[in-house]
């Protein structure tokens, strides 16, 4: 029988629920435990997803000797603390995006994982979806030639609620860390780290960023132009332009169901990528495969790139004059 990695989930919010739902498609994961800040929430989550062990505090889950991997689905502001706690307890970590609040926090977690020789990965689930795997193959094969431009953006208008995490600076709220990270990660996957960053944007009444646009320039001359907003509506999509054609990733860009390939002189090709489940299982399978193989990071979402993405977002926030309470 194939070995399964025993997993614990930290948090019981929307991300934890989506991840737990996706695990039904993960052949190499056993969901063993869940932890919340209250016994009631942990018990409710456990009942819904059939989780054998429930904990009313995060430290107890980290101390469970049977757990090998912890998925962290707590608020952004807690990611560093929770990751360090689990790594100190000898657990591998799959941490939800954004990986931390800033690059300094990210470095602390990366250094701890390396010190402990434990697996660590940012849960950028988009990287592992079939459509994005195909995109990487097309780019590696040079199908659209020399890629010089990435155009991407998305906007949504949630009801204003000062108590919701999106609008709470003390939780790392705002549209950049919540949604912009997807676009920056895609640009990083295609072009690598930028050599120049230009950003504009505005903050709302609670002090978080609600409306951003940023341009990343790269050493080879390639440009990524992107926007995210909480003040308008636009389906999030992405276009790559090369000297031989273009690739369009259909919305939503964080889980593109299809892509359209347009080459000079040829009819458009629309490629669909159906799969079972909600898509969150692909990253879980990758994390478990890496641990079973004795690897401490994923080549698809390497830790050096996670750090570079956080550095890019730090530069954007600096230009927007956006800091969080825990940074002051």
The predicted pLDDT at position 167 comes to 97
Phi/psi-derived region of residue 294, left when phi > 0, alpha when psi is between -120 and 50, beta in every other case: left
Going by pLDDT thresholds of 50, 70 and 90, the confidence category of residue 2 is: confident
The pLDDT of residue 328: 85
Contacts of 158 (CB under 8 A, 6+ apart): 164, 166, 230
Order of strands, sheet of 245-249, starting from the edge strand that comes earlier in the sequence: 196-203, 209-217, 223-229, 147-155, 234-242, 245-249, 258-263, 269-272
Summary count for the chain: helices (H), strands (E): 10, 14
In the chain, where do the E strands start and end?
5-10, 29-35, 53-55, 69-72, 92-96, 120-123, 147-155, 196-203, 209-217, 223-229, 234-242, 245-249, 258-263, 269-272
Residue 186 has pLDDT above 60, yes or no: yes
Contact 209, 202 (CB under 8 A): yes
Q: Checking phi first, is residue 56 left (phi over 0); if not, alpha (psi -120 to 50) or beta? A: alpha
Sign of CA dihedral 121, 122, 123, 127: negative
Tell me the pLDDT tens digit for each residue of 141-161. 999 999 999 999 999 999 999
Domain definitions of the chain by residue range: 5-126+279-295, 130-274+310-327
* Side-chain-side CA neighbours of residue 243 (13 Å): 5
The answer to whether the CB of 273 falls within 8 A of the CB of 257 is: yes
Q: Which fold has domain 130-274+310-327?
A: Dihydrodipicolinate Reductase; domain 2 (3.30.360)
Identify the CA nearest to 286 among candidates 94, 115, 54, 140: 94
Residue 38 has pLDDT above 60, yes or no: yes
pLDDT above 90: percentage of residues in the chain? 99
The span from the CA of 193 to the CA of 160, in Å, is 34
Q: How far is CA 20 from CA 46, 141, 278, in A?
A: 10, 35, 10
Q: What are the structure tokens assigned to 157, written together?
A: 């208008």
What tokens appear for 264 in the block?
A: 């000079």
pLDDT digits (tens, 9 = 90+) for 239-249: 999 999 999 99
Does residue 200 register a pLDDT over 60? yes
Q: How far apart are CA 8 and CA 119, in angstroms?
A: 15
Nearest CA to 63 out of 71, 73, 52, 55 is that of: 55
Say if residue 73's pLDDT is above 70.
Answer: yes
Nearest-angstrom CA–CA distance, 222 and 243 = 12
Residue 89: pLDDT over 80:
yes
Confidence of residue 1 (pLDDT cuts 50, 70, 90): low
* Segment 57-71, tens digit of pLDDT: 999 999 999 999 999
CATH number belonging to the domain at 5-126+279-295, selected among 3.30.450.20, 3.40.1710.10, 2.40.50.140, 3.40.50.720: 3.40.50.720
């Amino acid at each position: 029988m194939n070995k399964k990695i025993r997993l614990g989930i930290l948090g019981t919010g929307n991300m934890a629920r989506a991840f737990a739902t996706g695990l039904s498609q993960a052949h190499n994961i056993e969901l063993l435990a869940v932890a919340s800040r209250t016994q009631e929430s942990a018990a409710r989550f456990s009942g819904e997803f059939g989780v054998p062990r429930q904990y009313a505090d995060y430290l107890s889950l980290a101390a469970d000797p049977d757990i090998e991997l912890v998925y962290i689905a707590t608020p952004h502001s807690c990611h560093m603390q929770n990751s360090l706690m689990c790594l100190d307890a000898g657990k591998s970590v799959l941490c939800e995006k954004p990986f931390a609040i800033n690059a300094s926090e990210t470095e602390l977690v990366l250094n701890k994982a390396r010190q402990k020789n434990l697996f660590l990965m940012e849960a950028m689930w988009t990287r592992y979806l079939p459509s994005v795997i195909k995109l990487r193959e097309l780019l590696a094969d040079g199908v659209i030639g020399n890629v010089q431009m990435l155009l991407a953006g998305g906007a949504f208008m949630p009801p204003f609620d000062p108590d919701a995490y999106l609008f709470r600076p003390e939780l790392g709220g705002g549209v950049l860390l919540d949604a912009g990270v997807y676009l920056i990660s895609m640009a990083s996957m295609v072009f690598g780290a930028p050599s120049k960053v230009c950003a504009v944007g505005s903050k709302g009444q609670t002090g978080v960023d609600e409306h951003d646009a940023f341009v990343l320039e790269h050493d080879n001359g390639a440009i990524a132009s992107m926007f995210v907003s909480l003040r308008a509506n636009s389906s999030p999509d992405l276009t790559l332009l090369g000297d031989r054609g273009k690739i369009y990733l259909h919305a939503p860009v964080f889980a593109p169901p299809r892509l359209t390939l347009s080459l000079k002189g040829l009819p458009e090709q629309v490629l669909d990528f159906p799969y079972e489940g909600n898509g969150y299982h692909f990253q879980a399978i990758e994390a478990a495969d890496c641990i079973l193989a004795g690897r401490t990071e994923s080549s698809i979402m390497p830790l050096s790139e996670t750090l570079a993405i956080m550095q890019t977002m730090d530069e954007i926030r600096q230009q927007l004059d956006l800091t969080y309470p825990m940074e002051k």
